[in-house]
Amino acid sequence: MQFKIQFQKIASKIYGAKNLHEILVSLVGEIADLFKAERITIYVLDGEKRELVSQYKTGNDTKEIRTKVSSESISGYAAHRQKLVNIKNAYDDKELASIDPELKFNKNWDEKSGFVTKQVLAAPIFFQRYLMGAIQLINHKDGTPFTKLDEKALMELAKIIGIGLHNLKRTQRQSNHKYTHLLQNHIVSPKDLKAAQDDAARNRDNIENVLMNRYSVAKKDIVESLGKYHGAPAIEYNEETPIPKDLLRGVKVPFMRNNLWVPLRIEKDKIIIVIDDPQNFQKIGAIKSVFPNNPLEFIVATKEDILEYIRLFTEGKKKSAPEPADIDIEALSDELLKGVEGDDESSEEDSLVSEESSAVVKLVNKIIIDSFHSNVSDIHIEPQPGKEDVRIRTRIDGACQWYPMKIPYTHRNAIASRIKIMSGLDIAERRKPQDGKIPFKKYGGLDIELRVATIPTQGGLEDIVMRILAAGEPIPFDKLGFADINRNRFLEIIKQPYGIIFVCGPTGSGKTTTLHSALKVINTVDRKIWTAEDPVEITQKGLRQVQMQPKIGLNFASAMRAFLRADPDVIMVGEMRDKETTAIGIEASLTGHLVFSTLHTNSAPESITRLLDMGMDPFNFADAMLGIMAQRLLRTLCKDCKKPYTPNKQEYENLIREYGEKDFHKNLKIPLSDVTLYKPEGCDKCNNTGYRGRMGIHELLVGTDEIKKLIQTQARVKDIQTQAIEEGMRTLKQDGVEKIFGGATDLLQVKKVCIS
């Protein structure tokens, strides 16, 4: 029992170690006492020299011991052969030969120190499948061999040290920064780097492109910075590089593209690999499986350069074709109009244009790429009856506007067919709605996905709506725009061990974004989280995410049933739109699971009535409910051109009325003399609209005892709302008005998304 307690203490210290010295030097005495060994050495792998390195203290100095990963020493043999070695007498050559004829005992240390080595127990240190070092115990204090229990405990300790070493490596990398070199050499300022990161995130662009194009950072400086960060050589793309045909044989191009690596050349027996992250164990392991018989050397390049090398080696293209977004609108319009004039006698002109024609392909790609770079969420293609031009509207920050190009009616069928081909739909079916997805990287270079819906309209035409899916990492929780009271209360309920939480609102109100940001807060190694989504737009490491496929019977209800058999702690369901899914969710939340989901309802109190109308048992639902949050997205004023002003008394009192006079004096208490409001002005950055970006407004109803009682008695929505407000709930409009006082938006935008 004492051994177990001491072992756990040592494990905790290893996990909490802040530097390598704490593991290699400070803990050796405690580990030696634990195993009743006279000496202990912990080695760390030096990957470049293929040596094991340890540190020991002599006086006030710390010195190094090095030994090769080979059979020339016992610890080197354990690391080389990747197995535990237990030796009764290190000087017994027969015993060593019985283990392996090549195994040797290095007597140099004994000869220098006068120490006599007898029993040796050595084990390799791994993290997952990757060698990190070795640990060696010398001489049992009672002179007996190390036991089987010692062997088992040492292997367990080696595993713990492996995790500790990996955590240290990761922490050291995080404390450094990919662009530290740029900052240290004043190539870019911290302010500009932060702005570049924000620009890249907002426009879904590569930060390296932003630094080069908008902040005039030379590519060679970026490459040098990446090399210093990763501790590896770094190169820029060279279109004269010979194609390594032998190395590419049998390697799948999507595998290289998705993992951002490509073989460059062979130097002697060593294969040189260009990669974006030479310290990613998973990538390195996968590449080693492709080239198992050769040592590998990794060099760093930017993502764009790696993709250029892949194109050069697999397609023979020395330069990427210019993006269709660079095509001149007038030139493309002229190309579309060729052949249209003079064909008025034909009633089937539009059927004669091919969906594979150069102009149509360019046009569709251009619309998508322009929309992506303009931060568009939805593209609406609207053919008109007769011989009117096709119009296109794009939705930015929730508001639609015209795309600056009309398309001749002769091309309407070709455009519809082209989009159907890209999304895998039936081009012959024009009488009923269809839906699909476009993996746009195949067609236009941008690594984005679009959800496509076709809808038949009068006159035998088809409208097409394409939603650009905002794939990527979740938004940090603190950037969701929560008021303090909502943020604190929502954080409190998402950290509960079980129960059910709903986020409600119309399509496009940011429900999934909020749920993923919440999941990121609780996404720790000790929690198993399953998600059922349609589509999977945001990805997170640690989550097990499942894409719904209704055509094969994989829907939310069947996914929920499967999750409950897969030992979950937390379940997130994209939407609860039917009784079966909701019932399973409530049952799961009552049996020790934390469940998140969304609803298409207008307000938090209304959601309760909606769920009870589905047939949910009010007592079970009341017991399960932790909270319901309604949210909307409203347009925010452009930060670059919004104009401050002091409101008059009438405008101030109007805002108080909108908030609710009683609640205003209870919650906000802002006197007119302290109020500065802002109004839209218009500039180039916001396209002269005065608005740029969106933020959330929230209405959080928490499942308190009083609210649960009202649910059990199936009280009216008004009564639930009144009780919730008394307990501190802010309505959507109140949260919106609070953000007006904060200078983020104006009353017009709040009224657009909130009921008067």
pLDDT of residue 585: 93
Which pair of tokens denotes residue 538? 């945001």
Tell me the pLDDT of the chain averaged across its residues.
85
Strands of 461-469's sheet, edge to edge?
399-402, 391-396, 376-382, 461-469, 449-457, 434-439
When pLDDT is averaged across residues 252-262 and rounded to a whole number, the result is: 87
Q: Tell me the longest C-alpha to C-alpha distance in the chain.
A: 107
Assess contact for 415 and 351: CB atoms under 8 A.
Answer: no
577 burial via Cβ count (<10 Å: 0-12, 13-18, 19+): middle
- The total number of residues shown for the chain amounts to 756
pLDDT for 320 beyond 50: no
What's the pLDDT tens digit per position in 487-522? Answer: 999 999 999 999 999 999 998 888 999 999 999 999
pLDDT of residue 173: 58
When pLDDT is averaged across residues 600-627 and rounded to a whole number, the result is: 92
CA distance 361 to 369: 12
Question: Which range among 63-77, 327-341, 352-366, 666-680 shows the weakest confidence by mean pLDDT?
Answer: 327-341
> Which residue spans within 542-690 are E strands per DSSP?
543-547, 570-573, 594-599, 625-637, 643-645, 677-679
pLDDT of residue 573: 95
pLDDT over 70 for what percent of the chain? 90
Torsion sign (Cα): 735, 737, 740, 741: negative
pLDDT for 176 beyond 70: no
Q: Which helix (H) or strand (E) holds 220?
A: helix 219-230
Confidence of residue 347 (pLDDT cuts 50, 70, 90): very low
pLDDT for 348 beyond 60: no
Confidence of residue 204 (pLDDT cuts 50, 70, 90): low
Distance linking the first and last C-alpha atoms of the chain: 68
pLDDT of residue 321: 42
Q: Which helix (H) or strand (E) holds 296?
A: strand 296-300
The neighbour count for residue 553, using CB atoms within 10 Å, is 8
Which pair of tokens denotes residue 310? 């892949």
Which pTM does this prediction carry?
Answer: 0.54
CA distance 429 to 593: 44
pLDDT of residue 61: 61
Question: Which range among 18-27, 141-150, 586-595 shows the weakest confidence by mean pLDDT?
Answer: 18-27
Mind giving me the DSSP string for 130-146?
EEEEEEEEEEETTSSPP
Confidence of residue 336 (pLDDT cuts 50, 70, 90): low
What's the pLDDT tens digit per position in 420-469? Answer: 888 888 888 888 999 888 888 777 767 788 889 999 998 889 999 999 87
Confidence of residue 346 (pLDDT cuts 50, 70, 90): very low
Amino acid (1-letter code) at residue 466: M
CA distance 315 to 728: 62
Which pair of tokens denotes residue 134? 């070795």
CA distance 654 to 737: 11
pLDDT for 86 beyond 60: yes
Highest mean pLDDT among 214-223, 294-303, 429-438, 703-712: 703-712
Q: Which residues, 6 or more positions from 272, have their beta carbon under 8 angstroms from its beta carbon?
A: 263, 264, 265, 266, 297, 299
- Give the residue with greater pLDDT, 320 vs 24: 24
What's 550's DSSP letter?
G
pLDDT for 605 beyond 50: yes
186: left (phi over 0), alpha (psi -120 to 50) or beta: left
Question: Which range among 280-294, 306-320, 381-395, 675-689 shows the weakest confidence by mean pLDDT?
Answer: 306-320
pLDDT for 350 beyond 70: no
When pLDDT is averaged across residues 650-667 and rounded to a whole number, the result is: 91
Residue with tokens 């005892």: 705
Assess contact for 652 and 737: CB atoms under 8 A.
Answer: no
When pLDDT is averaged across residues 114-131 and rounded to a whole number, the result is: 89
Mind giving me the DSSP string for 475-527?
PPGGGS---HHHHHHHHHHHTSSSEEEEEE-STTSSHHHHHHHHHHHH--TT-
pLDDT of residue 622: 94
